[in-house]
Chains A and B, each alone.
Chain A
Amino acid sequence: MPVEVTKPGLATTVQDRGREGYYHVGVPPSGALDQFSLVAANLLVGNPADAAALECAYMGPELRFTESTVVAATGAEVELRLNGEAQPGWTSFAVASGDVLTFGHIKRGARMYLAIAGGIDVPEVLGSRATYTLGGLGGHEGRALQAGDELAIGSAGDGAVGRSVPEDLWPDLPNELQIRVVMGLYDHLLTDGGRETFLATSWTLTPVADRVGFRYKGAELDMVQREQPFGAGSDPSNIVDAPYPIGSIQVPGGVEPIVLHRDAVSGGGYAMIATVISADMDAIAQSAPGSRTRFVAVDLEAALTARRERADRVSRLQGVLD
């Protein structure tokens, strides 16, 4: 196999753009949490935008190549070394048989994406190569990579070295984030004060931040005291189990809001009070534990405008790398 995993990193998974159409039976979309960085890494090495690459959370893997190819790393800012020699991010470079690729400590952001020309060749499951670890589905044996794993690579296309993404297209990776949300769903279960607190608090991301969800701390939100509807459960934050939108924010017990991401649990009994707009899900993916987030309420129109702006950014990326 062309790639050997000598050290797995903290949580390295095979991801592509995700699988759609199975959320109604609890299979979430999965795929790269930071989709922009995935697309960039793929285009840099001449892959289609939806090829499978490695998503590396917090601490990257050590990989040994047994064939020469072209690779590129995007996403979080990190020291990247090939046989000990520093390599630039957001730039494609050649690796030769026997080369060892390592990642240093992350300086900013939380997730790196490593694309290899030809894409990671794992079997498609339900139309995607993305790993859904909770369900043991897709990716490399349905799980995060382990030391000793070997990865196959698809047949490479036009894998030119030395291509790069201009810096103005890199994500910001701030330590203080403003994340836009559309309020709604069950936000009527918050008191006016609870709603104000939610939007006024500078929330700190806890270490409980993985592909399923991102948990924050910073304040307690007042919930409306009511007689609970039949089947809803006894806590004021409980509802009759309902579907959870990707990006929805639930607040179990009124404390520690959780933003669900692309490996979301698909439903449950906690009131959701808002949903992160699709354009800001990449930024959530790159927020690191300890970073601070303010949630900013916008309306649906603004969410759609932001969505168009993000699509324009992807088009610019494609324009630069085509």
Chain B
Amino acid sequence: MSTADATSARYSWGADEHLFVEMDEAMSLEAYFRSMAVVTALRERRPEGVIDICPANASYQVRFDPDKLAPDRLESLMREIEAEVGDAHDFEFETRIVEIPVLYNDPWTHETLMRFRDRHQDPEATDLEYAARINSFDDVQGFIDAHSSAPWMASMVGFVAGLPFLYQMVSRERQLEVPKYVRPRTDTPALTVGHGGCFGCIYSVKGAGGYQMFGITPVPIYDPRQELPDFKDFVCFFEPGDIVKFEPIDRDRYDELRGEAEDGRISIRQKPVTFNLEQFTADPDAYNERLLDVLNAG
């Protein structure tokens, strides 16, 4: 059903090779799922001339070859799909839920954040202490509990290869929000679990970054040489639409998993799930519990 007023998206050209469509200025799961629904429908039809279909948090982009697909034809197709999708309240898609073990407050991101204290809002606190305080938690553990209990949606994959942007599947009031560093760092360890604005992320490679650093995962999420079993088919682990559960681990478990990663035999725990937006919206917490049951079954 189309509910034109509530769902009218904004279309704009990124010159002659990109159509950019913003579903909403603000982040919300509703805007994200509308974008996913449109993108999914486009993937099914995939006309000749479409090069890349890039869903993002509250927008999407189609990269196309205008020699094969005229821009006005692409735009009318996307508007037609948008009308068909409407508010996407009953959108359903096949995806997977994956478990990412995290050593919170680890020595490597700690060493890094101490080197860049002069670029931080609160040089006297760690990133976790700062995030816990401004999100009104009594202590760091309360923040870690909130961060690792409800699952997250990989609402966009990119910036650099394979880096997931994650939006927690809870109501807006319960979203964890932290500003980015005052000035970006020139260094972030690979596999850092970070957070900026309302988005979590996992840095797929070492490099510059501005997100607050909370911990590190031992499991590789990007493998350009395709040596690990999870990467036999493709170099990036994450795809938009993946559901992520962070699992707090201790140092011993971290070392054990790192050992497995170095031996080339680690693989990320994952289960296929069907995600249904209508059922999720009816009772997000109960639905999340069911998702976690799927992950933990068997």
Contacts and interface: CB of A to CB of B under 8 A. Distances in A.
A136 B15 CA distance: 29
Given A23-B63, A137-B235, A266 B12 contact: no
B61 A234 contact: no
A243 B16 contact: no
Classify the interface of chain A: helix, strand, loop or mixed: mixed
Given A245-B17, A246-B17, A300-B16, A267 B63 contact: no
Interface residues of B, number: 55
B19 to A, nearest CB: 9
Contacts of B53: 24
Contacts of A22: 52
Given A23-B52, A185-B14, A234-B179, A266 B159 contact: yes
B240 interface: yes
Contact of B59 (A135, A243, A265, A276): A243
A238 B159 CA distance: 15
B207 A134 contact: yes
Contacts of A319: none
B22 interface: yes
Interface in B1-44: 12-18, 20, 22, 24-28
A262 B204 CA distance: 19
B191 interface: no
A276 B18 CA distance: 11
A24 B157 contact: yes
Contacts of A304: 16, 66, 71
Interface stretch (B144-152, B160-168, B256-264): B160-168
B160 A134 contact: yes
Interface in A236-260: 238-243, 245-248
A20 interface: yes
A181 B204 CA distance: 32
Contact of A135 (B61, B66, B161, B165): B161
Contacts of A27: 161-162, 235-236
Given A134-B205, A243-B59, A24 B52 contact: yes
Contact of A229 (B25, B61, B161): B25
Nearest to B22: A242
B162 A26 contact: yes
Interface string B198-215: 110000110100000000
Given A135-B205, A231-B58, 15 more contacts: A23-B54, A24-B53, A25-B239, A26-B158, A125-B235, A137-B235, A231-B199, A233-B196, A233-B197, A241-B156, A242-B20, A242-B61, A267-B158, A304-B16, A304-B71
Task: Give me the 10 closest cross-chain CB pairs, A-B, nearest first.
Answer: A245-B14, A231-B27, A26-B158, A266-B158, A229-B26, A243-B61, A135-B161, A275-B15, A245-B18, A23-B52
Interface of A: 20-27, 125-126, 132, 134-137, 142, 181-182, 184-185, 229-234, 238-243, 245-248, 265-269, 272, 275-278, 300, 303-304, 307, 311
